[in-house]
Chains A and B, each alone.
Chain A
């Protein structure tokens, strides 16, 4: 059972130049490889396959210059023949000198493995939390957003590696307010604007779902990060308060 919100995705307000279709083949989950069909997923992960036409466009267009990193900006027009519910967005694409093709993908689907979440929390130095609680917190979150790094090595017949490198989640009443918690980026991938993209996309999805009041709590070290994303501390003097935060 996928974690995260169980609400249906709303129609998007803009198109990404490629999209992802959700499907599941029998009870197993398969990763669609654009080159050679399906390969079994390692864990029970619903990975979105990207359409064949996308791979064609990648091969013919985007990889004209090898070793170039493409920043993928979603176009602003909506093309009707595309899937109306794109949940995945490619933020970065890059071909390594050795031919490995990499993508960093944002997803609002909340498809995330608790073990991967725990590993990510370990990497950023958080104290361990029980897996059952992590699972419950994801399940009860209105929105769980992830950043995954997808690597496809040449000559491995297209077996994709998928690694969780960022996550953020929001709780909400599904109507008025949302609160963002646990914004994490793998330290190895920090400093590239991925945290910014993660939060921006999370905000975009919340606004698309008409959640008008987006809130969070931030310490001094990250206050400027959120200010630059459009957050204001103590608006109109309204103070964040916590119950017995100090002994």
Chain B
């Protein structure tokens, strides 16, 4: 249900990555009816994507991690293993494959543990987003292999998936965060309940009887 699994808050040097005001794009204020996009003006210039990353793709490569931006070569079974190790219930692999195949309108970013000889490596960090490709996106399944947490890989995938979505023109990027990881998303630029807008989830047992 949540957009991520059990994820330890990232430690390490605090990053100076916050998009400064003059780099954010200005849009006219919008007000939408139910299922909301928050009212938000932005400044005129978009940040250059690569300049905005705390750790560049190249730096990750030198540490043995390769950034991937499509599901090509993604070992679904290995990803499912990471999900279970972070505490998700085990997913049906076919459904997981279906979810990964239907990323149109969204994005996917994962970090591959590079292997010698260019052989495909296992996913060690992952994030995916669903969306309509123009207005809205929701980020799901943000995970980092537990033994590799605390090194900035979660931040790396989040920065890049946001950049991917922004590059496609999507400005409303949302997610659902467990209380203990709200602090992980805040320095990445996410805010809870802006304008009083809250995330809601449907539950059959909540349904009022007619």
Q: Does A242 lie within 8 Å of B191, measured CB to CB?
A: yes
Chain A hits for B176, CB < 8 A? 215, 238-241
- Of the listed stretches B7-15, B56-64, B94-102, B112-120, chain A binds B94-102
Nearest chain B CB to A180 CB, angstrom units: 5
Q: Does A242 lie within 8 Å of B38, measured CB to CB?
A: yes
Chain B hits for A233, CB < 8 A? 198-200
B interface residues, tally (CB under 8 Å): 72
Within the complex, which residue of B189, B197, B204 is in contact with A243, where a contact is CB–CB below 8 Å?
B189
Say yes or no: is A245 at the interface (Cβ < 8 Å to chain B).
yes
Chain A hits for B101, CB < 8 A? 174
Chain B hits for A245, CB < 8 A? 38-40, 191, 194-195, 197
Say yes or no: is B90 at the interface (Cβ < 8 Å to chain A).
no
Chain A hits for B40, CB < 8 A? 244-247
How far apart sit A54 and B102, CA to CA, in the bound complex (Å)? 38
- Of the listed stretches A45-53, A87-95, A109-117, A133-141, chain B binds A133-141
Q: Does B178 lie within 8 Å of A238, measured CB to CB?
A: yes
The residue in chain B whose Cβ has the minimal distance to the Cβ of A136 is B134
Chain A hits for B136, CB < 8 A? 137, 171, 179, 181
Chain B hits for A228, CB < 8 A? 208
Chain B hits for A227, CB < 8 A? 200, 206
The residue in chain B whose Cβ has the minimal distance to the Cβ of A237 is B179
Nearest chain A CB to B138 CB, angstrom units: 5
Q: Does A235 lie within 8 Å of B1, measured CB to CB?
A: yes
Q: Does A218 lie within 8 Å of B35, measured CB to CB?
A: yes
Q: Does A215 lie within 8 Å of B200, measured CB to CB?
A: yes
Say yes or no: is A222 at the interface (Cβ < 8 Å to chain B).
yes
Q: Does A239 lie within 8 Å of B202, measured CB to CB?
A: no
Say yes or no: is B207 at the interface (Cβ < 8 Å to chain A).
yes
Report, as a range, how many residues of chain A touch the other chain.
35 or more
The residue in chain B whose Cβ has the minimal distance to the Cβ of A220 is B196
How far apart sit A143 and B124, CA to CA, in the bound complex (Å)? 32
Q: Does A175 lie within 8 Å of B199, measured CB to CB?
A: no
Chain B hits for A237, CB < 8 A? 178-179
Q: Does B134 lie within 8 Å of A133, measured CB to CB?
A: yes
A159-203 with Cβ < 8 A to chain B: 169, 171-177, 179-184, 203
Interface centre among B91, B185, B200 (most CB of A within 10 A): B200
Q: Does A241 lie within 8 Å of B38, measured CB to CB?
A: no
Say yes or no: is A127 at the interface (Cβ < 8 Å to chain B).
yes
Say yes or no: is B86 at the interface (Cβ < 8 Å to chain A).
no
Say yes or no: is A79 at the interface (Cβ < 8 Å to chain B).
no
How far apart sit A246 and B185, CA to CA, in the bound complex (Å)? 15
Chain B hits for A223, CB < 8 A? 198, 200
Chain B hits for A182, CB < 8 A? 32-33, 35
B89-135 with Cβ < 8 A to chain A: 91, 95-96, 98-99, 101-106, 128, 130-135
Across the A-B interface, give the 8 residue pairs with the lowest CB-CB distance, nearest first.
Answer: A240-B199, A245-B194, A140-B105, A245-B38, A175-B99, A230-B207, A214-B202, A173-B99
Further 14 A-B residue pairs, CB within 8 A, beyond A238-B1, A241-B199: A126-B33, A138-B132, A141-B132, A173-B102, A173-B128, A175-B98, A181-B35, A182-B33, A183-B33, A229-B207, A232-B201, A235-B1, A244-B19, A244-B24
A-B CB contact pairs (8 Å), 20 listed:
A124-B33, A141-B132, A142-B102, A171-B131, A171-B138, A173-B128, A181-B135, A183-B34, A214-B201, A216-B35, A217-B200, A218-B34, A219-B36, A219-B198, A226-B200, A234-B198, A236-B178, A241-B185, A243-B173, A247-B43
B residues with CB within 8 A of A: 1-2, 19, 21, 24, 28, 30-36, 38-43, 91, 95-96, 98-99, 101-106, 128, 130-138, 140, 162, 172-179, 182, 185, 188-204, 206-208
A residues with CB within 8 A of B: 124-127, 129, 133, 136-138, 140-142, 169, 171-177, 179-184, 203, 207, 213-220, 222-223, 225-247
